[in-house]
Amino acid sequence: MDNLTPKEIADEEMINQAFHELLNDYLATKHRKRVEIITKAFNFANQAHKGIKRRSGEPYIMHPIAVASIVCNEIGLGSTSICAALLHDVVEDTDYTVEDIENIFGPKIAQIVDGLTKISGGIFGDRASAQAENFKKLLLTMSNDIRVILIKIADRLHNMRTLGIFRREKQIRIARETIEIYAPLAHRLGIYNIKWELEDLCFHYLHPEEYADLVRQMKQKRKAREEIVDDTMRVLHEHIEESGIKATITGRPKHFYSIYKKMKRDNKDLSQIYDLYAVRVIVDTIPQCYAILGIAHSLWRPLPNRFKDYIAVPKPNMYQSLHT
Ligand code: MN
């Protein structure tokens, strides 16, 4: 390393640290410990994007590392996908070809990178939103490897998380495309945490005033509501323990966009929305699901028409659970 400026040295440190965090996260998973190929993909992508910066001024490679980290930590995919995520912009943004990737990393990773490059290529361009339905179908059929779509969603999630660096028109265009294509795809694939985050980020960029207003209102009531959730979970936990069923109980706030949609759809204000928080109970068997429902309904009177049995009648994506 000769004659690096302090800024370049700091950048290198930041890059290496981000990559090592990714490796540690990967090693903490149950996947095979294929550190060598992941390191090779990182080194390759790092030199391929060398000197290129994102609009934020960050070295470009920070983006593929962040996408790989989403793929690893938030979607739970393994080394092949992590490598493809690290390499996902190399063919599009540098002189390397899919053949180069195949020669170095083999056909599987190369195919995924090829799929990712084809989706992001200008074939759909700005008209993608207008044809969202067709585009969704196309995405699903053109990728015989579902990992292409999952990595593409991770790519979009990181772009949405860093959308603040772009001009307003671009923010709106990307957010529209995300709400029309990527959030529904994430929903269909069952990655709900990502779907919720995408929707809230889109909400923030597409309706900034309403978003800020809702966040402010929610904050004011947050403490009271958190206490309600904690109490509910505690009572539920006690009764489930008595029944002898082993269960995992979690609570989560409803995400902003779904509250907003509900307020708009039903023309209500925040005080009229009842399911701002949800408590989730996970058990091992279907009979246990109904047993827990019985416990819940004996503790709190169910609201008429608000009960849904998605076990007997699964959602089209095969989602199964009981809602009350
Ligand atoms: Mn990208």
What DSSP line would sit under 122-158, residue for residue? TTSGGGGTTTHHHHHHHHHHH-SSHHHHHHHHHHHHH
Confidence of residue 123 (pLDDT cuts 50, 70, 90): very low
Check: CB of residue 55 under 8 Å from CB of residue 161: no
Confidence of residue 134 (pLDDT cuts 50, 70, 90): low
Lowest mean pLDDT among 17-26, 154-163, 190-199, 314-323: 314-323
Lowest mean pLDDT among 90-104, 175-189, 250-264: 250-264
Of the residues 93, 102, 145, 210, only one is catalytic, namely 93
Virtual CA dihedral for 170, 155, 116, 82, nearest 10 degrees?
160
Ligand 1 centre from 65 Cα, in Å? 10
**pLDDT for the residue numbered 250:** 86
State what percent of residues in the chain have pLDDT above 70: 92
Ligand 1 centre from 197 Cα, in Å? 18
Ligand 1 centre from 140 Cα, in Å? 19
Q: Is the pLDDT of residue 155 over 80?
A: yes
To the question of pTM greater than 0.85 for the whole model, the response is: no
Which protein residues have a CB closer than 5 Å to ligand 1 (ion)? 89, 155
Residue 28: what residue type? A
**pLDDT for the residue numbered 4:** 85
Catalytic residue status for 93: yes
User: CB count, 10 Å around CB of 86?
Assistant: 29
Confidence of residue 224 (pLDDT cuts 50, 70, 90): confident
The Cα–Cα gap between 104 and 118 comes to 20
Helix/strand/coil for 280? strand
The Cα–Cα gap between 127 and 213 comes to 32
Of the residues 92, 133, 226, 284, only one is catalytic, namely 92
Q: Is the pLDDT of residue 66 over 90?
A: yes
Please give the average per-residue pLDDT across 159-177, as a whole number: 94
The Cα–Cα gap between 200 and 34 comes to 35
Contacts (Cβ under 8 Å, ≥6 apart) of 94? 48, 49
Ligand 1 centre from 182 Cα, in Å? 14
Ligand 1 centre from 112 Cα, in Å? 13
pLDDT digits (tens, 9 = 90+) for 258-309: 889 989 998 988 888 877 778 899 999 999 999 999 999 999 998 888 889 9
pLDDT digits (tens, 9 = 90+) for 194-219: 999 999 999 999 999 999 999 998 88
**pLDDT for the residue numbered 135:** 67
Q: Is the pLDDT of residue 26 over 90?
A: yes
Ligand 1 centre from 92 Cα, in Å? 9
